[in-house]
Amino acid sequence: MNRVHAIHLGNAWEVEPGDEARPAAWIRRFGLPTGLAAGDAVWLVIDAPVACGLALNGEPLPGSGPEADYRVEVTARLRGRNLLVVVPRDAAHAPRDPPPRGPLPATLGRVRLEIVPAGE
């Protein structure tokens, strides 16, 4: 039986403006998932991603590419409050005058956390 629990991070994205030193980025703040038990694993999953740089709480994650869905375990990187940063490598996917908070554009993929119980 698959008891994986998914937390979708589709809404409440903000834009971090860029400058000459760094490109604009999409950012998403979220809390530590509740109910985690010892040994549970938390995975960051992006369905149909575009090539982008990623960071969680200031630590770079392996970048994603358009060739396959993206999965990386992030359990040890999570804190009480978290900041996920997505920096598209293609200017066509960079943020442009979006609302202060809103959904991540579908062209960047669908982002979620998957909680996998210990032993699964």
Q: Is the pTM of this model over 0.85?
A: yes
Structural domains for the chain: 5-116 (2.60.120.260)
Contact 75, 40 (CB under 8 A): yes
Looking at the chain, which runs of residues are DSSP E strands?
A: 5-8, 14-16, 25-31, 41-47, 52-56, 59-64, 70-73, 81-88, 110-116
Per-residue pLDDT of 25-80, as tens digits, reads 899 999 999 989 999 999 999 987 778 889 999 999 987 766 678 899 999 999 99
